[in-house]
Amino acid sequence: MRPLTIDSLNPALQKVEYAVRGELAIKAEQYRVQLKEGNADLPFDRVISSNIGNPQQKGLDQTPLTFVRQVAALMEYPALAELAPDVFPKDVIERAKVLSDEIGSIGAYSHSQGVPYIRKNVAKFIEERDGYLADPNHIFLTAGASAGVSLLINMLITPPTTGILIPIPQYPLYTATLAQHQGVPLPYHLDETSDWSTSLPEIEGAIEKAHRAGVVAKALVVINPGNPTGALLDEETQEAIIRLCEKYSLVLLADEVYQVNLHRPSMHTFTSFKKIVRQMQSPVPLFSFHSISKGVTGECGRRGGYFECTNISEDVIALIYKMVSVGLCPPLAGQIAVDTMIRPPKEGEESYSLWKKETDAIHEALRTRTKTMADRLNSLPGMSCVDSPGALYLYPRIFLSNKAQGVACEAGKQPDAFYALQLLDETGICVVPGSGFGQKEGEWHYRLTCLCPGVDEYVTKLESFHKRFIEKYGTD
Amino acid sequence: MRPLTIDSLNPALQKVEYAVRGELAIKAEQYRVQLKEGNADLPFDRVISSNIGNPQQKGLDQTPLTFVRQVAALMEYPALAELAPDVFPKDVIERAKVLSDEIGSIGAYSHSQGVPYIRKNVAKFIEERDGYLADPNHIFLTAGASAGVSLLINMLITPPTTGILIPIPQYPLYTATLAQHQGVPLPYHLDETSDWSTSLPEIEGAIEKAHRAGVVAKALVVINPGNPTGALLDEETQEAIIRLCEKYSLVLLADEVYQVNLHRPSMHTFTSFKKIVRQMQSPVPLFSFHSISKGVTGECGRRGGYFECTNISEDVIALIYKMVSVGLCPPLAGQIAVDTMIRPPKEGEESYSLWKKETDAIHEALRTRTKTMADRLNSLPGMSCVDSPGALYLYPRIFLSNKAQGVACEAGKQPDAFYALQLLDETGICVVPGSGFGQKEGEWHYRLTCLCPGVDEYVTKLESFHKRFIEKYGTD
């Protein structure tokens, strides 16, 4: 018989690229195994995975929120409320009881769209955030924001001439999903020289370029706060984006998973696209994504999140329902955590003070680290770094000499991947080269998370590596 | 601007059908809401969801296995081991400790393929089951078996001329996923007159028919034990299937999620396709699926399962890894439950006796119900029902008169959907019409689960409805 070869498989999947868990991450994992097995002769004693926004991973210091985990434990094993009553605060026991009454066992499939009661709570959360009505029937709980993005891109695309506008740099889920479903990515560049701001003419240019190539721009992706840039949109720009969606009949996909990760809250506040759309009474079809993986919850492993549909007709919602029903339901552990994320303890409740202390500490650690890292990276020769107001990342630009580019080319690597590989080999720090997110031709970046504890030691490693690299390869 | 209409979306998705959560299930859900709100004038006081194999749902009696949930609670909130030490058996505390050491927080993304330690345990489980080596690197933990099936079908299909052979009747995940990814379903009929056995000439006929239509048969789906039929393959047939895969260069997709659901274990034992492939030293590429949602675990809501790759080259495995990495990782709650499923307590361990008692009770209840339901349905006029040796379902055939077919046609319904709707309207019992699984032209069936407690009352309802229906519409 003929063996199953890669060439005989769906060619679309072969074009998929996802650098966050690509070559660098695989090599980092190998180093980690070597270190664990004790047979490594490496210039570092641990691997630091700065490639992925995974706050609770080993070696990073973000512990789970006690409230979230206590509710989860009671949902797993409800008998605990009687077997160990003194272990749990009253509001936790009450919360778990109400959830249990609504859900029954979390070992059962729920409604494919998510537990109706939790969707009602999400709707209330959105209403309080935005000041506009939200409909639980227009909310879909998901296995993380990614699952929703993937499904909706699949739905919006009719291959091979549908395009979706994506920011560059972008989170590579978008290009990966477009490749998988044979949609055309229509890149629009963010402006690094003005703190990664979004330019409307740049988006219009991308639409017109697509049009000339026979590709119809169907939807616009906006990541706010940005990933990897951390930039936050102002309301004026958001309004202009919606007017542009109206002009070109674009569906707006608003990735808002970092909405509570703002480092300078006195200067910046997050405004959802849902609010702006309602404020403008705009008919723009909008899908907004949120997640338990980021924010202060950081519960990536549970796979939870939701998207809300605004200005989406009932027959399209029925189609989405049909598609999610094939996958049966989102994980209950993720759904439960959506509920605890959008309904945290309130002042006066027994769990409140601990919850407040824990979340304040997470915000503060992220704020301090981001500032320290941005300042120190920015002062290095051959590097510039926008000091992000939001999200979990920095995306420094590295200026690589012709010599460095030449050596990278000989090694068959993109120059930024070459830089990142050397960084990993010498320090154990794993970052993602900018080529994984997109950048202007001839420019080079990398993304790193701001999640590592011991920021001083960590940045010192980055600095000394960079200085050695510059020394070896020069700056032009 | 143009609104987002259904016609402007991916036409492939509009062709997807998934009856298990289709019209009937949606109507049942509406009845349930009406009953809860107390404003219903209905001829029943509760809705019984026999449409879906969801053992822990409200109203059914399968309680979660204590061992599974105790381990899960400790993983959610590890401090419980100190805060409430007397609540947990020693082996549970030990298990959770080892898992915690390996995984860290279950709020972190794991390896995209699943926690390496759990994959090692799965490999050991497979080795003990089959007597042949298994490689942890060839095992992918998934969000239920469905997620794996969907990904692999997407990978195997190159639209529009790739076909996949599927049994009829089948679990509609297969046709749904094929429609989504524009593959061609190549149906082969199982033989109801010999207890839903699999006929090799029937499969060859389907391959040749596809060939004449310019479609390449790429893979063969076998569901063993069957869904919805409950049939179990004998080893001779399994060998013949593998020889046929060799002859036609087919990839074998073995859906083995019901492998422990056997009602007459003294007469029937499950043999995996992995074992047969190795025994025959066959080069047939095989993907085998397993799940925590069925068996005695019944933990559907966690979304957990795995697939094993046999005779799959490393570059194809790397492609699968890349694709699962875009979705980041399977839910940790599901991964943990895979570990407890494939490593249950052993004799001599503190949790063993309770685990044994609970799982024996589940097997016994399923066995008794299946037998009672099959016998009584079989003795009804206008109905015949194969007494399934495995899985969680029965798939009775209903003989519908011309009159019934005519009335159904006037109502714009398939005759079996018409029957099932009447059943729901009159009794609150929700089943799935055979048209959702496939059947020979002019034949009608429905699938119902064997999970409802109070089997006597339940079957009495089915019987009296059927008799009324026959009385009203006659039998020919």
**Domain ranges in chain B?**
6-62+357-473, 99-342
Q: What is the pLDDT of residue A433?
A: 94
State whether B72 and A70 contact (CB < 8 Å): no
Contacts of A330 in chain B (CB under 8 A): 303
Q: What is the pLDDT of residue B330?
A: 97
Radius of gyration from C-alpha coordinates of chain A: 23
Whole-number Å distance between alpha carbons of A126 and A139: 10
State whether B327 and A6 contact (CB < 8 Å): no
Contacts of A322 in chain B (CB under 8 A): 16-18, 22
Question: Exposed, middle or buried: residue A23 (CB in 10 Å: 0-12, 13-18, 19+)?
Answer: middle
State whether A58 and B21 contact (CB < 8 Å): no
* C-alpha closest to that of B358 among B92, B63, B54: B63
State whether B9 and A111 contact (CB < 8 Å): no
Contacts of B70 in chain A (CB under 8 A): 77
State whether B331 and A155 contact (CB < 8 Å): no
Q: Are the beta carbons of B179 and B12 closer than 8 angstroms?
A: yes
Contacts of A74 in chain B (CB under 8 A): 73
Per-residue confidence band for B286, with pLDDT thresholds at 50, 70 and 90: very high
State whether B57 and A330 contact (CB < 8 Å): no
Chain A nearest CA to B32, separation (Å): 12
State whether A312 and B4 contact (CB < 8 Å): yes
Beta bridge partners of A467: none
State whether B247 and A176 contact (CB < 8 Å): no
Distances (CA, A) of B36 to A39, B46, B428: 62, 9, 14
Chain A nearest CA to B251, separation (Å): 8
Architecture of the domain made up of B99-342: 3-Layer(aba) Sandwich (3.40)
Q: What is the pLDDT of residue A468?
A: 95
Chain B nearest CA to A172, separation (Å): 8
At residue A274's C-alpha, the angle toward residues A271 and A279, to 5°, is 85
Q: What is the pLDDT of residue B62?
A: 87
Tokens of A56: 């609770």
Which residues of chain A register pLDDT less than 50?
A: none
Q: What is the pLDDT of residue B61?
A: 74
Give tens-digit pLDDT for B301-331.
999 999 999 999 999 999 999 999 988 899 9
At residue B122's C-alpha, the angle toward residues B86 and B62, to 5°, is 55
When CB atoms are compared, the residue of A57, A83, A325 closest to B21 is A325
Beta bridge partners of B306: B141, B290
What is the pTM assigned to this prediction? 0.95
Judged against a pLDDT cut of 90, whether residue B196 lies above it is answered with: yes
Chain A nearest CA to B36, separation (Å): 11
* Closest residue in chain A to residue B252, using alpha carbons only: A4
State whether B105 and A56 contact (CB < 8 Å): yes
When CB atoms are compared, the residue of B10, B144, B331 closest to A156 is B10
Question: CATH classification of B6-62+357-473 is 3.30.479.30, yes or no?
Answer: no
Phi, psi (5° rounding) for residue B115?
A: -55, 125
Q: What is the pLDDT of residue B17?
A: 86
What average pLDDT does chain B have?
A: 94
Q: Are the beta carbons of A126 and A274 closer than 8 angstroms?
A: yes
* C-alpha closest to that of B476 among B398, B376, B380: B398
Mutation for B interface: A220, A311, A326, A449, most B CBs within 10 A: A326
* Closest residue in chain B to residue A296, using alpha carbons only: B107
Judged against a pLDDT cut of 80, whether residue B253 lies above it is answered with: yes
Q: What is the pLDDT of residue B99?
A: 97
State whether B333 and A302 contact (CB < 8 Å): yes
Judged against a pLDDT cut of 90, whether residue B230 lies above it is answered with: yes
State whether B331 and A9 contact (CB < 8 Å): no
* C-alpha closest to that of B341 among B131, B139, B67, B140: B67
Give tens-digit pLDDT for B84-99.
989 999 999 999 999 9
User: Do the strands B305-310 and B286-291 form a parallel or antiparallel pair, or are they unpaired?
Assistant: antiparallel
At A330 the three-state DSSP class reads coil
* C-alpha closest to that of A141 among A341, A347, A351, A313: A341
